[in-house]
Amino acid sequence: MAQFPRPSVVGHTVRRFVFFLLVILTSLIALGLLVSVFQPNGFSPMELLLLFLYMILFAWICISFWTAFMGFWVILFGRDRWAISRQPPDIPPDSATSPPRTAILMPIYNEDSERVFAGLRAIHQSLMDTGQLDGFDFFILSDTRDPEVWVEEELRWQDMVWSLDGKERIFYRNRPENTSRKSGNLEDFCTRWGGRYRYMIVLDADSVMQGQTLVEMVRLMERHPRVALIQTPPVPVNRESLFARILQFASSLYGRMFTAGLNYWQLGESNYWGHNAIIRIQPFLDHCGLPKLPGHEPFGGEILSHDFVEAALLRRAGWEVWLAYDLEGSYEEIPPTLIDYAKRDRRWCQGNLQHLRLAFAQGFNLLSRLHFLMGVMSYAASPLWLLFLIATGVEAFIQTQQELVYFFGENWMPVWPVSFAVEMTTVLLVTLTMLFLPKLLALLLLLKEKRLRRAYGGMFKASLSVTLETVFSVLTAPVLMLFQTKFVLAILMRRAVGWPPQQRGDHQTGFVEAVLTHGGHTLIGVAAGTLSYLYVPAFFWWFTPVLLGLGLSIPVSMLSSSIALGRQARRMGLFLTPEETDPPKVLQDLDEYLQEDEPVLPVLRKTASSRFLQALTDPYVNTLHRSLLPESESPSKRRRHYLEGLIHQLEEEGPDSLSSMQKRELIANPETLLRLHALFWSQPPLNNDGMLLENRRAG
Amino acid sequence: MDLGKVGALRSHWTTPADSLSDENCLDRLRNYWKALGVSDSNLALALSEQTLRRLPEIPENEDSKTAHAIIAAGELLDDWLATALELPRPSPELTAARAALLSGVTPDWPTALFAPPGAAGTALERLRAAIAKPAPAPSPSAMPTQRIALFSLLGLLRRWWPTSINA
């Protein structure tokens, strides 16, 4: 349990009471309006289904709306006395205690090494600028399986150590087996070196954090010993495609309001988003060893979205988890295209759906259960919306088939049908308000601060950007709805997802890729549009935003992936973010390191066609790689035979005949690696390293 | 540079090179030493001959004699490095030291390694400083697996059942 449990604070309870009261009241009012429409003629099964779906979906929207509203309120008045950054220290600073050591962890998996190490160097430089670098160590925790990337990482690490004089401060290791993926990677760090550090700051491969922010995170942890985890809100940056720039703008402008709102009601029972967070290592060790869930994938087995579960386990043990929404200088990068965004969703979807089982497990706090359910709803909402739209269409069709009867029984006066247009319009308006008002509120907040207003390109440009972003989100929402519905259904049908690495760099969507991905969406849009136009014409016009999104999905996906359009929009002052208008030094450094990639290590200055071959042929790369291999037992006889076979295959058929995994196996064994090196150098000399093996294959 | 030191570090290396007749092998070895950073042709030749003398000590495998000799060259280098830097052998530190040596941080490494005692201080210090340490000393901690009791209707009934019977 936490050493310094805090007694419950009345103010916290009041905040949560107010928040949930507003959510429940708003949901009930909207539901009441819809019931009043359906009730007079009794409830048909279809109407009951519509009511049920509307209740869930509206409650979901309400949580989001009131979170944004609370965030608006907090930022507007600037008086959040319970923000973790504004709370007085729980204990007076103890000068006798040794200064904390913090490990900055970057778990990576087949990532672009150049970008990973440029990011780390920028963070390192930023920390050095604070003068507090001595309190931090850097760990590159590689789970990379691709042998080319593996060797490249090692060289980049060595280069970073050299150029930054980072011996004994910048460390690298590649796990022989990537058991339990990212959570296993972190667990491996904690169990090996956890005892050396009081805190760890977990990054993602595309994370960038300012040194001052890192120092502040440590300071906050020191002041509040009951806190086990502080999450910072990462702001998306650095992408140039139109799609990514629109998302960066939206996340930046609306995000700060939403995170302030989340902190308003979550307080010390906040959540963990997996990166850009500081964690107290001892409670993490004590309480966050993740079990395997009973049963098979997709709902059983390893816990995929480990971050939510770790936060819940820390809360279960009495520790506090905070979202430091007002800490700036925390950045991440987002997928550059709509298709990449959907692919990322595919990976996250299974992990979040798995949480459905955990939401009802014993011992978790009420808010932790809500976090689990919100995670589930972030994907389950899509099939529910789709079902709702279909049910609405069917209900509208049924209504058109009914003949109106004006005379009942003995009545000689006609009984005019009652119109519920007012109620229905109110329901629609309330729903739309809930969806779009937060965008307006975020815009209004710009009026408060001149600095921010300028950073977003001025009030006019910011307003125009919000309008265009709204149109874009309306167009893409139906596409994402279909994507996520497909993912949810695939997972329910027990089709597990793999662990593909993300394609993070800017790149454009081609016509073939767009047609293959969105062809189905377009067809569905055309079919739904035709059916509704023919059979329920009144419904068709209400349905047009969804139909347009689906019908235009191919051009929207292609155009939004355009880097040229993204840059053009930037030149026009559209979708600007403060990080674009006035980039912080850490981002400028990152950009500089990426532009002027001038490694100190001679071997990195030369272009190599294959790092794998270089590991076999180049005496330095070969030795460096061997020096970084973990000590292991001598392979079994069977294993030796297997490796022997791979050596012969490489000799006779060339490197292209081997799979990536086979290449990895060859260079993961020090003896094999040395033998291959010796075999290469025992052959007649060639001018170009690696040509021998490549030539042999060609022959 | 003290060329004599090449063969003088360990007395048993002075065994006559019975395979010097194998010109191809010697050529490959000389190339290999050059690839390791030995630019002086005479020194490369001397080192190659020394390698061949060392050959009988290296456990044989099914590969060619030349491949075997390439491995012996590395072993020879490790011997000198272990002596110069006082490192245990074999050890990961020694492999890391060899990597540092080959990285280019001490371009004149043959001069430093075969210099008379006390004459190669700076170069060896530079080499020591360049030895990579991929991970700090371990400080292991336990991370017990947590128990998460998932919701189960049967479990709920089991808990409820005895209470209701007693009631």
- Is residue B161, in this structure, part of any structural domain at all? no
Q: Residue A610: which of A555, A692, A521 has the closest Cα?
A: A692
The full DSSP string for B42-109 is HHHHHHHHHHHHHGGGSPP-SS-HHHHHHHHHHHHHHHHHHHHHT--SS-HHHHHHHHHHHTTSSTTH
- Sign of the CA dihedral A40, A45, A50, A55? positive
Please answer yes or no on whether A619 and B36 come within 8 Å at the CB atom.
yes
Residue A494 has what pLDDT?
A: 76
Beta strands in A294-387 (DSSP E): 320-323, 330-332
Please report, as a single letter, which amino acid is at residue A259. T
How far is residue A629's CA from residue A626's CA, in Å, rounded to a whole number?
A: 5
Q: Nearest CB to A173: which of B129, B134, B141?
A: B134
Please report, as a single letter, which amino acid is at residue A441. L
Residue A698 has what pLDDT?
A: 35
How far is residue A10's CA from residue A15's CA, in Å, rounded to a whole number?
A: 9
Neighbours of A231 (CB within 10 A): 30
Please answer yes or no on whether A681 and B32 come within 8 Å at the CB atom.
yes
- Is residue B46, in this structure, part of any structural domain at all? yes
Please answer yes or no on whether B67 and A172 come within 8 Å at the CB atom.
no
Q: Are A477 and A521 in contact (CB under 8 A)?
A: no
And the tokens for A363?
């011992």
Query: Which are the contacts of A291, defined by CB distance < 8 A and separation ≥ 6?
Result: A303, B145, B146, B147, B148
Q: Are A446 and A76 in contact (CB under 8 A)?
A: no
Which residue reads 């004699």 in tokens?
B65
Q: What is the pLDDT of residues A152-185, one digit of tens each?
A: 999 999 999 999 999 999 999 999 999 889 999 9
Cα–Cα–Cα angle for A372, A375, A379, nearest 5°?
140
Q: Which of B64, B146, B156 to mutate to test the interface with A (most CBs of A within 10 A)?
A: B146
Q: Residue A672: which of A638, A645, A695, A653 has the closest Cα?
A: A645
Q: Where would I find the H helices in A402-510? A: 421-446, 450-455, 459-492
Residue A521 has what pLDDT?
A: 96
pLDDT band at A412 (very low <50, low <70, confident <90, very high): low
- Is residue A416, in this structure, part of any structural domain at all? no
How far is residue A576's CA from residue A435's CA, in Å, rounded to a whole number?
A: 22
Please answer yes or no on whether A360 and B150 come within 8 Å at the CB atom.
yes
Q: Above pLDDT 70, what percent of chain A?
A: 91
Please answer yes or no on whether A619 and B32 come within 8 Å at the CB atom.
yes
Within 8 A of A196 by CB-CB distance, chain B residues are: 136-137, 139
Q: Are A507 and A525 in contact (CB under 8 A)?
A: no
Within 8 A of A369 by CB-CB distance, chain B residues are: none
Q: Residue A649: which of A657, A640, A641 has the closest Cα?
A: A657
Residue A542 has what pLDDT?
A: 84
And the tokens for A380?
């389950």
Q: Are B130 and B100 in contact (CB under 8 A)?
A: yes
Q: Are A563 and A508 in contact (CB under 8 A)?
A: yes
And the tokens for B144?
């017990």
The residue-averaged pLDDT of A360-382 equals 95
Neighbours of A632 (CB within 10 A): 10
Residue A150 has what pLDDT?
A: 97
Q: Residue A628: which of A18, A66, A5, A158 has the closest Cα?
A: A158
Q: Are A147 and A611 in contact (CB under 8 A)?
A: yes
* Chain B residue with minimum CA distance to A620: B102
pLDDT band at A426 (very low <50, low <70, confident <90, very high): confident
Cα–Cα–Cα angle for A482, A488, A493, nearest 5°?
125
The residue-averaged pLDDT of A334-347 equals 92
Cα–Cα–Cα angle for A85, A196, A308, nearest 5°?
50
Q: What is the pLDDT of residues A224-236, one digit of tens each?
A: 999 999 999 999 9
How far is residue A389's CA from residue B67's CA, in Å, rounded to a whole number?
A: 71
Q: pLDDT averaged over chain A? A: 90
The residue-averaged pLDDT of B100-119 equals 80
Residue A47 has what pLDDT?
A: 86
How far is residue A694's CA from residue A426's CA, in Å, rounded to a whole number?
A: 71
Query: Which are the contacts of A125, defined by CB distance < 8 A and separation ≥ 6?
Result: A211, A586, A589
Q: What is the pLDDT of residues B62-90, one digit of tens each?
A: 778 888 899 999 999 999 899 888 899 88
Within 8 A of A164 by CB-CB distance, chain B residues are: none
Q: What is the pLDDT of residues A561-619, one digit of tens each?
A: 999 999 999 999 999 999 999 999 999 999 999 998 788 888 888 888 899 999 999 99
And the tokens for B89?
């052998």
Expressed in angstroms, the distance from the first to the final Cα of chain B is 97
The residue-averaged pLDDT of A664-693 equals 78
Neighbours of B116 (CB within 10 A): 9
The residue-averaged pLDDT of A276-282 equals 98
The residue-averaged pLDDT of A269-277 equals 97
Domain housing B69: 4-139
Q: Residue A232: which of A253, A196, A202, A206 has the closest Cα?
A: A202
Neighbours of A95 (CB within 10 A): 6
And the tokens for A644?
């022997």
Q: How far is B137 from chain A (nearest CA, A)?
A: 8
Give residues 186 to 225 of A whose Cβ lies within 8 Å of B: 187, 190-196
Strand partners, A201: A104, A278
pLDDT above 80 (res A421): no
The edge-to-edge listing of strands for the beta sheet with A235-236 is A208-209, A330-332, A235-236
Whether A161 and chain B come into contact, CB under 8 Å, resolves to yes
Please answer yes or no on whether A194 and B143 come within 8 Å at the CB atom.
yes
Which residue reads 């963070």 in tokens?
A123
Residue A60 has what pLDDT?
A: 95
How far is residue A389's CA from residue A538's CA, in Å, rounded to a whole number?
A: 14
Neighbours of A540 (CB within 10 A): 19
Neighbours of B68 (CB within 10 A): 19
The residue-averaged pLDDT of A454-476 equals 96
Residue A669 has what pLDDT?
A: 93
Residue A319 has what pLDDT?
A: 96
Task: Tell me which H or E stretch contains A108.
Answer: strand A102-108
- Is residue A687, in this structure, part of any structural domain at all? yes
Whether A443 and chain B come into contact, CB under 8 Å, resolves to no
Helix, strand, or coil (residue A102): strand
Please answer yes or no on whether A627 and B74 come within 8 Å at the CB atom.
no
pLDDT band at B157 (very low <50, low <70, confident <90, very high): confident
Q: What is the pLDDT of residues A128-152, one digit of tens each?
A: 999 999 999 999 999 999 999 999 9
Question: In angstroms, how far is CA A480 from the centroid of its own chain?
Answer: 15
Q: Nearest CB to B146: which of A173, A291, A674?
A: A291
Q: Are A689 and A613 in contact (CB under 8 A)?
A: yes
Please answer yes or no on whether B136 and A623 come within 8 Å at the CB atom.
no
Greatest C-alpha distance within chain A: 111
- Is residue A626, in this structure, part of any structural domain at all? yes
pLDDT above 90 (res A367): yes
Within 8 A of B61 by CB-CB distance, chain A residues are: 675
- Is residue B160, in this structure, part of any structural domain at all? no
pLDDT band at B120 (very low <50, low <70, confident <90, very high): low
- Is residue A88, in this structure, part of any structural domain at all? no
* DSSP tag of A574: -
How far is residue A121's CA from residue A159's CA, in Å, rounded to a whole number?
A: 11
Strand partners, A279: A200, A229
A4-13, B96-105, B146-155: the lowest-pLDDT one: A4-13
Q: List b or e across A661-679, with b for residues whose CB sees 16 or more CB atoms inside 10 angstroms.
A: ebbbbbbbbbebbbbbbbb
pLDDT band at A430 (very low <50, low <70, confident <90, very high): confident
Q: Above pLDDT 90, what percent of chain A?
A: 72
- Is residue A283, in this structure, part of any structural domain at all? no
Q: How far is B1 from chain A (nearest CA, A)?
A: 23
Residue A347 has what pLDDT?
A: 85
Please answer yes or no on whether B140 and A191 come within 8 Å at the CB atom.
yes
Strand partners, A236: A332
Which region holds residue A545: left if phi is over 0, alpha if psi is between -120 and 50, else beta? alpha
Helix, strand, or coil (residue A161): helix
Within 8 A of B138 by CB-CB distance, chain A residues are: 192-193
How far is residue A277's CA from residue A307's CA, in Å, rounded to a whole number?
A: 11
How far is residue B34's CA from residue B110's CA, in Å, rounded to a whole number?
A: 11
Please answer yes or no on whether B151 and A360 come within 8 Å at the CB atom.
yes
- Sign of the CA dihedral A420, A422, A427, A431? positive
Burial zone of A545 (CB within 10 Å; 0-12 exposed, 13-18 middle, 19+ buried): middle
Domain housing A623: 607-698
Q: Residue B53: which of B78, B77, B31, B73 has the closest Cα?
A: B73
Q: What is the pLDDT of residues A479-507, one digit of tens each?
A: 999 999 999 999 888 776 554 555 666 67
Q: Nearest CB to A172: which of B28, B35, B134?
A: B134
How far is residue A480's CA from residue B25's CA, in Å, rounded to a whole number?
A: 65
Whether A544 and chain B come into contact, CB under 8 Å, resolves to no
Residue A418 has what pLDDT?
A: 59
Greater confidence (A87 vs A234) lies with A234
If one counts the domains in chain B, the total is 1
Q: How far is A175 from chain B (nearest CA, A)?
A: 12
Q: Are A217 and A201 in contact (CB under 8 A)?
A: yes
Residue A6 has what pLDDT?
A: 65
Give residues 594 to 623 of A whose Cβ lies within 8 Å of B: 601-603, 619-620, 623
pLDDT above 80 (res A693): no
Within 8 A of B144 by CB-CB distance, chain A residues are: 286, 289
Pairing state between β A199-202 and A102-108: parallel
If one counts the domains in chain A, the total is 1
Burial zone of A42 (CB within 10 Å; 0-12 exposed, 13-18 middle, 19+ buried): exposed
How far is residue B54's CA from residue B12's CA, in Å, rounded to a whole number?
A: 8
Beta strands in A17-96 (DSSP E): none
* Chain A residue with minimum CA distance to B145: A289
Residue B19 has what pLDDT?
A: 44
How far is residue B51's CA from residue B57's CA, in Å, rounded to a whole number?
A: 10
> Can you count the helices (H) and strands (E) in chain B?
8, 0
Crossing angle of helices A670-681 and B23-35, rounded to 10°: 120
Please answer yes or no on whether A679 and B63 come within 8 Å at the CB atom.
yes
Task: Tell me which H or E stretch contains A219.
Answer: helix A211-223
- Is residue B145, in this structure, part of any structural domain at all? no
- Is residue B152, in this structure, part of any structural domain at all? no
Please answer yes or no on whether A681 and B67 come within 8 Å at the CB atom.
yes
pLDDT above 80 (res A240): yes
Count interface pairs A-B at CB distance under 8 A: 148
Residue B16 has what pLDDT?
A: 38
- Is residue B150, in this structure, part of any structural domain at all? no
- Is residue A694, in this structure, part of any structural domain at all? yes
